[in-house]
Amino acid sequence: MPRILNGMSTADAIREAAAELFHKHGYEATSLRQVAAEVGIQVGSLYNHISGKEMLLRWIMVGIMEDLLAAQQAALEGYTDAVDQLRAIVDVHVRFHAARARDVFIGNSELRALSPEYRAEVVRLRDQYEARLREVVERVAAEGRADVLDVQLQVYAIIAMGTHVASWYRPDGGKSLDDIVETYVEMVFRQLAITPRGRRRAKPASKA
């Protein structure tokens, strides 16, 4: 059934159809004719909403980063304690990538297909997302509540751990998402030697 008949706006139906096809066949192998057929409109009607196929990819990739940034910001609201903020930011990072696996796949695999202008736009949003996480990790370290060997590498590790969830998480899997999130938070805390109460774990005494 054409997506436009399922209560979606034409613009949303186009974007959803494109995302499905890019995920299934890849950006290069997907034609605008396929997108139009999936939505249930003529190819020419697509140009009432987009300037071309690349605009669809940009639409999807910028959209997911804007959603991710908004989720990250919402997770931080209401928390002033740095450790609480770190827990919240890891929590939302894992949940988002579990829930949006299809879009995450497109974002990671098709960035190279964008023109330099659009690619720079996506990279700028990614940098903003990374910068917020780095600020929180720096605060935890500055307060003496974590043992951070290298802030930037720790940030990369947290991002990579959460992003990888998109490649294997299934809602009908053996673990609930809540359990998975809690485990990932605990792994990050252990890496940084943070106790559940937010105090840095003491290093083992060296043996004589």
SS3 letters for the chain?
CCHHHHCCCHHHHHHHHHHHHHHHHCCCCCCHHHHHHHHCCCHHHHCCCCCCHHHHHHHHHHHHHHHHHHHHHHHHCCCCCHHHHHHHHHHHHHHHHHHCHHHHHHHHHCHHHCCHHHHHHHHHHHHHHHHHHHHHHHHHHHCCCCCCCCHHHHHHHHHHHHHHHHHHCCCCCCCCHHHHHHHHHHHHHHHCCECCCCCECCCCCCCC
Domain boundaries, the chain: 3-46, 53-191
Asked whether this chain's domains 3-46 and 53-191 adopt the same fold, the reply is no
Check if the beta carbon of residue 138 is closer than 8 Å to that of residue 151.
yes
pLDDT at 6: 59
Give the lowest-confidence range in 85-89, 132-136, 200-204. 200-204
Q: Is the CATH code 1.10.10.60 the one for domain 3-46?
A: yes
Q: Which CATH class is domain 53-191?
A: mainly alpha
pLDDT at 196 over 90: no
pLDDT in tens, 84-117: 999 999 999 999 999 999 999 999 999 999 999 9
The 10s digit of each residue's pLDDT in 140-175 is 999 999 999 999 999 999 999 999 999 999 999 889
Tracing tokens 């928390």 back to the chain, one arrives at 79
Residue 3 is predicted with a pLDDT of 53
